[in-house]
Structures are given as C-alpha cells and as structure tokens.
Amino acid sequence: MEDKEAAAATEVQSEYNPDINQDELIMQRHREIEKEIWESTSLVGEKEDLSSLEAEYLTDEVYQAKVKDLLRKYQYIRRTRPDGNCFYRAFAYAYFERLLNHQKEYESFKEIIVQSKLSLMSSGFSTVTLDDFHDTFMEVVNVLSKGASAQEQLFKLFNEQGYSDYVVVYLRLITSFQLQRDADFYQNFIEGDRTIAEFCRQEVEPMYKESDHIHIIALSSALDVGIRVRYMDRGQSTEAIAHDFPEGSHARVHLLYRPGHYDILYPVESD
C-alpha cells in the first residue's frame, strides 16, 4: 500500500514540476506492475483445465475461436510466470515432467547434459561460471529418478527461485553454445549488423530476455527434443497455428504462445 501511495504522490507532484523526468515515471510504474505480477504469479503453476482460457477472452471473438480449436487438441494448461524466462522454464518443466514416464529417454537426456558441460568448456565458457549452474541442473535432473515422490519434488524445485533460475541459466548457455557452434546457419536469422556472438551476449545469455524462433530452434536442436508451439494471435485463421521445432520433428513438448509469453499445454492424447 505504501508503495502505491508513494507512486501516486510522485505522479501528482510531476503535474506541478516539469523538471521530473516523465520517462523515469513510466519506467517506475512499469517496474511496479512487474513486481505485482511476480508476487502474484507462481514460477510454475498447477495444472488447470484448458477451459480456464475461455474466461480470459469472453468478449474477444478472434481469441475465442482459437481457444475452441485448442480445446479439441489439448486438455490442460500449466501457466508460468511472465518474466522473460517463461520459454526456458516452461520447456524445462514440461520436458522433465515427460521424462518421469520415459526412462530410456531420461537416460539419454542425462548423458546429453553431462556431455554438455564439456562442450561448453571447450567453446570458451568459464569453468567457474559453469560449475554451479551445471551441478544445480543435474540435481534437478537426478530428482526425476526418485520414483513416486519425483513429481512433487520437481514442482517444488521449479518454484524455488534459486533452483528454477539456475535451470533457466543453464539452458540459456546451451542455447548460446548451439547458436555459436552453427553460426553460419543462424546468422541468417539475425537482423542488423550484430554477430552471433554479440546476439548471444545481448539476447540469449542474460536473464529475463524473451525468446523467439531462433532460441527455440537452437535449444531443440542441441537437446534433440521436438517442441510444438501453438500460436494464439490475431491472425485470420480460427486455428491456433502449430510450429514444430525442428521442422518435421516429433513433438515431445507442447507450448502455448501468446504475445510475449509461453505456457505449457497437455495434449488430449500423448505418448
């Protein structure tokens, strides 16, 4: 309450003091809104019936049509915090949850992650930087082998900021490595004069930076995990269009994209 009163007082003061920077006031309000969202939204939410989306778009015919299309294909949604890390967090939770019931795939993935540290080190990433992130990531991966309690432990860890964010950081580093390893290919996706290395330092490795197609392609290729993203936008189609990454792959993770944000989807039928 005190924060809101202080913000209101600042806004009133600004009307009578032209020297106050209006851009700073806008940024301050933006930070306050972000803080409210963070405090009211779990990093990873409980699984909900997908019909809960309908209530969000009661007066929007375009989005209502897309929700109806989704309901024919998906049964549940799991929401993630809209903090710029939502793609990585949603992907990690959805895939880890899948691995609980796919032992052979789990063993293969675990080996990929063990080897990934060596690849990152050989490409110039600092051991000091990698050790903590890799070790924490492996702690979470190892939870998946704990039997009946694994699901509960996974949900708990993904809602502990330290563990959850370390998982995100490590996936960002893997994405950066993949982009730089295949720089000749990915350079075609970069706008302007930035190199792939510059793009990674500015748009991939830092926390809270949002993700686009290039990030998804790189991560799905690095981990050999097919990702299907359903897009809800204002396009003319009544369908929530699906894009598979890499193209033609078998989707093991299903995500819903709404402008600037990713949540987890659960198909009506899954393997």
Closest among 186, 210, 208 to 197, alpha carbons compared:
186
Residues labelled as active-site residues: 83, 86, 261
- Can you state the percent helix, strand and coil of the chain, rounding each to 5? 60, 15, 25
The confidence score (pLDDT) of residue 16 equals 40
The confidence score (pLDDT) of residue 9 equals 42
The confidence score (pLDDT) of residue 68 equals 96
pLDDT < 70 stretches in the chain: 1-23, 26-27, 29-39, 270-271
Tens digit of pLDDT for each residue in 68-110? Answer: 999 999 999 999 999 999 999 999 999 999 999 999 999 999 9
Q: What is the overall mean pLDDT for the chain? A: 89
Q: Where are the alpha helices (DSSP H) in 159-193?
A: 161-181, 183-186
Q: What is the pTM of this model?
A: 0.86
The confidence score (pLDDT) of residue 145 equals 93
